[in-house]
Structure 1
């Protein structure tokens, strides 16, 4: 196994660095909690995410598993501290009828996944399989309800089935299928992308439909149902305005938002073979998340100044053309250092907007889009995005610390982006963590941060970096990119000086 990463980090640190970066950390000014649910994930019945990703079945496999779920996947996601997992879609959710996926597996009807590849599925992975898997992972389930092709009765039956501890037709059916106690599922999506694959609805129509469904989704079990409305597509601010205006605050707990870092929806470009122009445009789209969150939040503030309703960014990530030779409906793509940049920048944005953004879901967990895990038969690898999510999990449920950064520019043909972004938090033990990202593809960045109100004696760090932006982990070299010890941070006289390698993610710990 090659051991070039520490050398690569040292080499890039030696490159010329800009000194135009400065920051201020208010270490004694704790703000709101950064909800752990910002670090959620997404598992849709799409390509090889569920079948052949999470689930290999209980028969005819030599891959170690627990009730059909890959053991190596369980171990990796537990280390990631996945707080919640969204299922069964996505677009698939509004064609999924949950009763097809319960009862004896040999008796379950097959379905055709008309959205993703036209493949036939046998429904062997259903409600029990998913909810029991969430228990194995220590993750809260987030169920996406079908309002596109389903009915109100179908959805409230599902709520009753998984949440009711008393005697009822649905709880009796659950017990008949082998689950005595309810799972008490809290998070529920009321449809998905109602403006598109969920029904091509107008916001006014969806708002009324939401009110109808939400009315009947309460009163089952001990879990207080957290109802999430199907939200806007990117910068469709009218959608958010209409929902906030027409849905009473006591009927909604979250409003969704979807945004992907896509260069061009017609020709998205290769996941691995991209040039400087494509990289810059991808990072433009990733950083645009900050404007989206800020503007949707301002609209929500008009109707909900107390911020009772969460902004739930339950689909985000990079989206490229599929890998050559793979099914175009399976959305399988590799994961490079460019994706690590998307992840680092986006999570900093969510942390800094955690007063309103209180839940998010990276799309998707395994073998689809910006995955954290890729599998190939018995092999499994962790992507650069996985490592960023693992490095950042120190922020989960910690208190946000104000971190203001004045960044040098990353320029491309007259256009500019901030090269450096960051966020900081203090955990329950008093330890401060700071995550910094340098997206510049060729230049290291020096930054001096004025630490106000902190009396830190010790600083350590980890870095994710590589030789090329196009580098990725492969099944032949699964550890090409992984976190390394970071030593280019010094704290003297209240000044934190950090040298960030090009296209790198750094997480510092200060005590």
Structure 2
């Protein structure tokens, strides 16, 4: 049996899709690779996404200055506290599809003077622009997180985006910096991360990649790098799923000095015409969702191979700025608001994808879970004054130990999760070493029924002590509710043995475990 490097699972997936058994036992051994040449796991892999969609901004983040809910400049304090605990490194705004209909000047100045628009993408509701550039960038300062602004390329102009850059970043005297000061902000925010449109192949304009590549070059030509140390970090609207031609055209046609990142979007959706319930799902739907989630590995491998052809020095990063589970909306809610509950299935998606991103840290430098509050695979749900943290929140909180830590390469033979004649790798993992010399190992067992056992020899790392936390529940469909907000939360994990530097870990069915090793 061939041992596979864990961060190159494409071959394993191809064999598994044909039902070929790659592991006959529920036991497997993880080997540690060479850490010397391993990349650093960028903290920005743990980014988030907040779109003007449904109840993400309004009734989610933003309740207004006059709300009885405790807030800071209209943003809920409990959400601020929860996101600070997560140590979110960046936050993407205002979209999504909404970004290419958003005109930033509508959201500045006195609120009573701001025009309204109709959010034609999400529910046809009226957007009053009460949450705008100042609100968002001030929130990012409070959260101590980097803002990632998505520019309007679809319905906007080159001048409009160039003005936004100047408004947010220019220290001197200019029409836009003067306007910023008139609106109460003297010093610029210095926004580094900019998306040049969103999903240009679809809701961002239904463009051909060749056309978008030219449009991209035109827009970034007029975006000033002068006011940000190291220049702006410009992200091209990248491919949907397996559109490898899109990545090929962008990498071939855009000069590398104009391009810092190429985006990729992939959701764990079993069927766009019949996505299945958010909570009342069968094991068949669960398995299919896991299969779609595992596809992220293959997508990254293949898109990265194309990028390597044109960028052998890896100067351009892969940015997975939309990912997560997508189901039918929760029963009785607005179909255009994309509100769904968050179960143990979502915890599996979160852990699996974060492990994949970590293991591809040489090229994946940023990712953004969709979305932060009340939309899709949210980490936070609200109902008036109530707020709950989802299983996905807890996974992100457990995994934050990997931020800016050095990847520890792993290789092992995963046991299989088999259902209806198809098989997937049951176990996925990633590991890192932080600046304090602590090892962190994150392991996910997606098998709906079977416990799996893994062994890892930690002697080469000099580890002497192990502690751990686990996220698990009785049923895959379990979730936190406003009546029972703590049904699923991390617990101390002790079901391991550690003798003579060898760690043996018992992985319960559909569980997420993070272990810390100290010297």
TM-score by length of 2: 0.94
Alignment partners' CA distance in 1, 2:37 and 2:435: 11
Task: Tell me, yes or no, if the aligned pair for 2:35 and 2:409 is still in contact at 8 Å.
Answer: no
**Number of corresponding residues:** 494
Alignment partners' CA distance in 2, 1:317 and 1:259: 7
The reply to whether residue 240 of structure 1 matches residue 247 of structure 2 is yes
Which residue of 440, 449, 460 maps to 2:447?
440
Alignment partners' CA distance in 2, 1:228 and 1:110: 29
Alignment partners' CA distance in 2, 1:464 and 1:268: 25
Alignment partners' CA distance in 1, 2:109 and 2:103: 13
Task: Tell me, yes or no, if the aligned pair for 2:33 and 2:408 is still in contact at 8 Å.
Answer: yes
Q: Give the corresponding residue for 1:105.
A: 111
Could you give the per-residue CA deviations for residues 181-209 of structure 1, whole angstroms, max 9, x where no partner exists? 00000000000000000000000000000
How far off its partner does 1:170 sit?
0.2
The reply to whether residue 145 of structure 1 matches residue 151 of structure 2 is yes
Q: What is the correspondence of 1:400-419 to structure 2 with a 5 Å cutoff?
A: 400-419=407-426
Alignment partners' CA distance in 1, 2:119 and 2:447: 41
Q: What is the correspondence of 1:414-429 to structure 2 with a 5 Å cutoff?
A: 414-429=421-436
Q: Give the corresponding residue for 2:79.
A: 73
Task: Tell me, yes or no, if the aligned pair for 1:165 and 1:182 is still in contact at 8 Å.
Answer: yes
How far off its partner does 1:324 sit?
1.0
Could you give the per-residue CA deviations for residues 211-233 of structure 1, whole angstroms, max 9, x where no partner exists? 10011112341342000000000
Q: Give the corresponding residue for 1:158.
A: 164
Q: Give the corresponding residue for 1:120.
A: 126
Task: Tell me, yes or no, if the aligned pair for 1:398 and 1:425 is still in contact at 8 Å.
Answer: yes
The reply to whether residue 317 of structure 1 matches residue 328 of structure 2 is no
Q: Secondary structure at the match of 1:259?
A: strand
The reply to whether residue 485 of structure 1 matches residue 492 of structure 2 is yes
Q: Secondary structure at the match of 1:99?
A: helix
Could you give the per-residue CA deviations for residues 401-459 of structure 1, whole angstroms, max 9, x where no partner exists? 01112111000111110110000000010100000000001111111123351211100
How far off its partner does 1:20 sit?
3.1
Alignment partners' CA distance in 2, 1:165 and 1:333: 43
Task: Tell me, yes or no, if the aligned pair for 1:253 and 1:308 is still in contact at 8 Å.
Answer: yes
Task: Tell me, yes or no, if the aligned pair for 2:445 and 2:509 is still in contact at 8 Å.
Answer: yes
- The answer to which of 326-335 and 20-29 deviates more is 20-29
Q: Give the corresponding residue for 1:190.
A: 196
The reply to whether residue 457 of structure 1 matches residue 467 of structure 2 is no
Q: What is the correspondence of 1:1-40 to structure 2 with a 5 Å cutoff?
A: 19-26=26-33, 29=36, 31-40=38-47
Task: Tell me, yes or no, if the aligned pair for 2:191 and 2:228 is still in contact at 8 Å.
Answer: no
Task: Tell me, yes or no, if the aligned pair for 1:96 and 1:146 is still in contact at 8 Å.
Answer: yes
How far off its partner does 1:369 sit?
0.1
Q: Give the corresponding residue for 1:495.
A: 502
Alignment partners' CA distance in 2, 1:110 and 1:378: 26
Alignment partners' CA distance in 2, 1:464 and 1:306: 39
Could you give the per-residue CA deviations for residues 31-63 of structure 1, whole angstroms, max 9, x where no partner exists? 11100000000000000000010000012x210
Task: Tell me, yes or no, if the aligned pair for 1:26 and 1:453 is still in contact at 8 Å.
Answer: no
Alignment partners' CA distance in 2, 1:277 and 1:202: 36
The reply to whether residue 507 of structure 1 matches residue 510 of structure 2 is no
Q: Secondary structure at the match of 1:184?
A: coil
Task: Tell me, yes or no, if the aligned pair for 1:30 and 1:401 is still in contact at 8 Å.
Answer: no
Q: Give the corresponding residue for 2:355.
A: 348
Which residue of 244, 264, 272 maps to 1:265?
272
Task: Tell me, yes or no, if the aligned pair for 2:192 and 2:228 is still in contact at 8 Å.
Answer: no
Alignment partners' CA distance in 1, 2:242 and 2:390: 29
Q: What is the correspondence of 1:174-185 to structure 2 with a 5 Å cutoff?
A: 174-185=180-191
Could you give the per-residue CA deviations for residues 86-120 of structure 1, whole angstroms, max 9, x where no partner exists? 00000000000000000001110111100000000
- The CA RMSD over aligned residues, in Å, is 1.1
Alignment partners' CA distance in 1, 2:233 and 2:314: 15
Q: Give the corresponding residue for 2:60.
A: 53
Task: Tell me, yes or no, if the aligned pair for 1:163 and 1:220 is still in contact at 8 Å.
Answer: no
Q: Give the corresponding residue for 2:217.
A: 211
